[in-house]
Structure 1
Amino acid sequence: MTPYGEGESSGKFTTIDVVKMDDNKPRLSIATQSTQEGFYNFNLGPSSFSLLLDELRRDDVTYSYASTLSTNYTTSNLAGPGRVLGNLYSIAGSSLERGVGSIARRTGIEELLRSKSLDRLKKSTRLFRSEDARKHRKACRIFLDGANSYDREVQATAFGFITAFTLKLPAKAQPAFRHVLKKRREIGAVISLSWKRSRIDYGLEWLFWYKLASRCLASPDNFECIDGFSLLESANRKGLVPFLQSILRQSLIMSFYEDFKSYVLKRGFGDPALFQLVSASISAMKIHCETEKFRLLSLLSQAWSSDLVTCMWDSLGSMSPNVRCALADDPTQLATWANVFRLHLIVNKYRSLLILQFQTDDHGSTFRSYDTLVSCEQWEDACHKYLPDPEYTKLRQLLLHLEDLHKPILREHSFSFEGEINEFDSHSGGDSDVIPTVGWSWK
């Protein structure tokens, strides 16, 4: 595990991997791809994830409750004695922080504190297995303390836990966070500002998790007032860009799995919002593949993308025979399924690389303790499972043809680590049926 923004591997492993992008490398671009003629010929629209990427790169505003007194307690930028005095306190406080940090690093205390903090965060996740609200509050206190740490790796790990548990276990996590914040007389939208400190070079991944955790604490009621699947309904009326700009909203969609299925059954696979949703997930996976390479995927994107593919198959299986048969003659719906296959292949191939990392990782015991082995259904098996009858032969053949059409294209263009994929195939003979997935199961 690389301490955020510093050096090489430190020999630590956490469920949420944090990596700093090298600003000297070329920026990532999401290129649209066109395929062969027919219903396969379509282009992806602007990616919400590329917009988020640009937003994070431009985000250089920092806040601090530790030493920048003038920033916290005055709103005027006019020159004056108060501003001068505040700036002096800020400089003195920052110098003291850097000096203490330098001493800690020299004495080896920093590494020991980081290890203990990460271990405490991981162990606190077990408290959510209980139905005791007091244990949930204890876990939330530990998460908030970790988010306020001066160690960026500890902070990023805490941000990930705050986001994951707020999305996955809202009935337990949201009341616990509200209780803790109320008892501390703190406001979620305000306290998160103190986590991002001045004169510190934060990387892209840290900012990603920071924004997600901040949104979770700033507006917890947003998780409780979603009426059915009104998010996508609203997206159709008001335009897709504002809707797709928020990665958190996309994660929320898969938190309401049954509502997602209801939406698909109501609107069909040709719905423009659904098409853009799958396209945005493909772009997110490409970003991870090209920026993190061999590192573990961020928990949220990997789990969300996998759930999306599964939910699309479940929705197809729940449709009436007439609707499924008609899908074979509808180019718009088939274009969405071409995107679903591309997402399926990218997710599975990245998971294949996780197997290689699992086999060569020096910290296998730690990896296993935070890992769940799940069955990964192959595309051909899913086609026969959800379209078993002879009346679906045409649709089944069209979906099976996607594998022949898109697999070579994705191997050539979508992965910056094609050699590793080929190496895995040569050792295993193809995709494995048992794939490790990071962290919690999102079903």
Structure 2
Amino acid sequence: MGTHYEPSGEYRIENVFSFLAVASTVLSTACAKPSWGLFAQDYEDDFMSMGGRRREGGTIVDRLRDDKRFSKFVEVLERERGLRDDLGNRDKEMTVFAPTNEAFKHMEEGMHMCSGTKGKMDMKQIIMYHVAPDADIMSDMMHAGALIPTGLRLKSLGDRHQRMRVFKFHNEMWLNMHARIVDMDMEAENGRIHAIDRVVCPPMEVTEMMYILPTKFSTFLSGLERTGMMEKIESEKGMTIFAPSNHAWQNLGFDNLRYLFSCMGQKEEGGRRRYDERDGDRMRMRCKGMQDLKKIMEYHIGMDIAWSTDMMEKKDMRMETMMGEELEIKAMRMRRGGRDEDRDDDCDDHDSDDCRHRRRRDDRRRHDNDRHRHDDDRRRHDDDRRRHDDDRRRHNDDKKMHDVRKYNFIMNKGEARVSFTDMLGSNGAIQMIDNVMLPPGMRLPHDRMM
């Protein structure tokens, strides 16, 4: 098997963001330029069935109509009467990321419409992607890496709602690294509005999304092409690709990469060499290296969706792969200072001085936390006027507890780590990992680079 990596607290998922800044120039289309806190299934019910708290100032539709910056967005809503009526219904709460007139101007002038490998998207789908079935998506909740469930439900995602991902860039908040939030937290009776400066295009197929970042995923994409798996992946629904980065592949070493990606010099069972210039495509898959590469590729493709919110909810997650073997994903919450809170340290079975000291420290921390919780309860009881705000603050704190920045996601007991979470696709999710995992029983012919 491959080299195992022990979880390290100093590693932070958001550090990988720097490479995405480069991709921003690629994504600056008419639609573009440059975790959700609650668990994923909280949003899978029909998003038009929300109800509850009242606010002042008119409904979302009223607020949009009263603000000239959104006149084009209102025109679009008028053509989608069902959605307009829902946004005007005081009993259906939601958050809207409203493109300004300038955002639609960029889309109309320009350069590209929202489209993918299968053609342009329906405008209703695009608008649904700007609506979230949660009225409490406030600006202070939108940390880097947060996932926002939207109203766009797709069969290609197993009938789940598509997500938006929050990025922080130069102290500004972006959605999918396409749209900048230019005005925040405009409250309405049935939710809130955030103004954005671009129309956000829903993600394309997972392979197309990886092509946006060739410096990170070109080797994985080459593996799909060499093994003839590209079309199958593009048509697959509701999957997760745990894609090793280019650097992870490089760590296999030159000799192993040549063995996996080329049949040159390899022999078939009968002893003949397995490469023919005239018929390379037909001959390639018959050499052992290519067959091993296909198994490796299939081993990195999970047959279900695993967004970071799913992994944080389940903590210990098992997923069947396209190869038929299982992957194990463990979400470890990091303590202050970066150490994994759930990390196994064998203190349950040892009575060393270090373990006794650690248990006393943890007991003191729990005591302090209990005391702080008691003080908070007394403060809420004494101040009735702020009870509503306190309830909302507790709700938001629950979301922050599941902040993706505070978790490590470990694969197969340390064989690999998720180094960047939640690249989105129309038919699944992409989790970038820092090591190539080998299927059970497989060995490469050469030692890996260290």
> Which structure has the higher relative contact order (CA within 8 Å, separation 6+)?
2
TM range (shorter): under 0.3
Tell me the TM-score normalised to structure 2 length. 0.22
Higher strand share: 2
